[in-house]
Structure 1
Amino acid sequence: MTHADAYPLRFRPLIKQTIWGGSKLGTMLGKPIGGDGNDAESWEIVDHGNDQSVLESGPLAGKTLAELIADDPVWLLGSKHSQPKNQFPLLLKYLDCNRVLSVQVHPDDAYGATMPVPDLGKTEAWYVVDADPGAVIYAGLKAGVDRGQLAEAVRAGETERVLHSFAPDPGDCVFIPAGTVHALGAGLVIAEIQQSSDTTFRLFDWNRVGADGQPRPLHIEQSLDVTDYESGPVPARKSHKSQSGWQTLVQCDKFTLDALEAGSDSVGGDERFHILTVPRGSATLQAGNDTIKLARGQSVLLPAAIETCRVTVESGATVLHAGPPAE
């Protein structure tokens, strides 16, 4: 494939159901959910084993993300892509947290490689799309909490007392590096960018049972092993609603995450892939001679071979951009 073949790629969302899901993915973000009220996640862009994004439009429609990469990894990922295997390295999803999620921690890449089914570690970042009054985010341990104190709290069924928590505002960003103990509370809608990984250790599940009436499995020792006891509480990061142009929210060794809150800015044309999603309002993407309207909840992947595009946000809207780590 060539530069001339490159165009914004729109994929069919994968809807995941769990006991903590709701209906806001449909009512708020326009996702094709069912009617049973437990739709928890919409995987927008994913290449992870059998979980595959399928292209919806254009001359390559019907291909999976893995097939696109197999056909021409440089066209999609760029010549500087350093992933050890030709797999799309990031996963974009929306979450409807109708009930509190389990308290979890993710390992890093080194630990993930030693697992029975090797996988990447998982560093992630959240963008708060919506928050009910009183909704809470748990992010990191309270200052000074060590392994022994965390283990004791878990055994006593009182994990919450050692967790840092706060009430987020819509637009807040929370960076969760691998090793950070965390949980999303009830009443939140979240956009999440993460490594393409499924390495989750469940530390505490609020003493509840799953759909089969049994407690869901816990991974207490693995969680204690991979937890970072030095980083402490994780604060929210905030953008400036009136500032024009891209604003950096997260810059780490796994990805960058930026927000466009006002005006317009360029993206692409740099031989790197780029992800765009619209958690609030609507936006316009100018790609060559094509003008593409992006409604709330819609996402696109710009292949590395695409020419420079222009993104413009409507008043009160937000566009999130995620891409490979900065050089």
Structure 2
Amino acid sequence: MNIRKLKKRNAKRQYEHRVNRKYKDSLFRKIFSDRKDLLDLYNALNGTQYTDEEELTVTTLEDVIYISIKNDVSFLLGGTMNLYEHQSSYNPNMPIRGLMYLARLYQNYIDDCEINVFSPVLKHLPSPKFIVFYNGSRDEPDQKLLRLTDAFAEEGAPEESCLECCATMLNINYGHNYELMEKCRRLEEYSVFVAEVRKALEEGGDQRQAVDDAIDICIEKGVLRDILIKERAAIMNMVLSCTEKQYDRLVRKELEQQEKRIKEQEDRMRRQQGQIEEQDSQMRRQQETIRDQERLLELNRILVRERKYDLLEQIQDNPALCEELMVQYGV
């Protein structure tokens, strides 16, 4: 094969599409970034009947500086800090990741609410709830509990550990968790779509055509119909891997976002530093006030002991005299 043909072949290969194995994660985030769908999912999971989307406060971590702790979906609702993670492959380390995500989410919550954790008064926080939505190819039960304590090197009873983080893993492959799917139509549609794409790809042939056919089938069935009609091209590109040029654009965009996030992080650190300095200043003032009160109390005892009641009355309205007597008596 001559060099010209080899270059032509490599150029063609450069722009071939491959299946993006993370498309399910991206699609899940896209669907449940809609507040109404997210509220429906919450109601289905918790047996609640919330209808006001404004009660839901999205807290999803989007900080690209910390790629390792960028989570899928998180939000506050009804006194609960909800963390939803999607997994297209089985991962027993989700409690470890959950610990990292929740620590960051609570830090943000404390900062946003300006909670003084050094206060002698107990401060209340929302209760955590961590759900992992799994739809990988490995056979897993409808529900499985993953514990952080299972990862600890030293074996022992979980209740003996001072730290625990539990993740409830739900299998959302088509045919699993039937009752949950009945309660949340969007989750069921997502499950059906993934099953149709998986089936089409397993039949072989042109992958782009296979995904295109799966989308047609889902539209006909009314599965994610509104999203697939409106954003067909975007979903297609989501399922198929990017070309190098597309990837380059994504990297450039992420770098721009990274610069923005770095600036925001620096601003937040400056605010936190200012708060710490203010707290230190307040503590110093409180300590000085306590010392002054102790000195005044000691001076009062001395004057009472020496029966100098006239001076005792005078110092109440005369700070200068009070200070002079403190120096005189070595208080």
TM above 0.5, yes or no, is: no
| Structure of larger gyration radius | 2
Structure having the higher strand fraction is 1
More helix by share: 2
TM-score where L is the length of structure 1 = 0.25
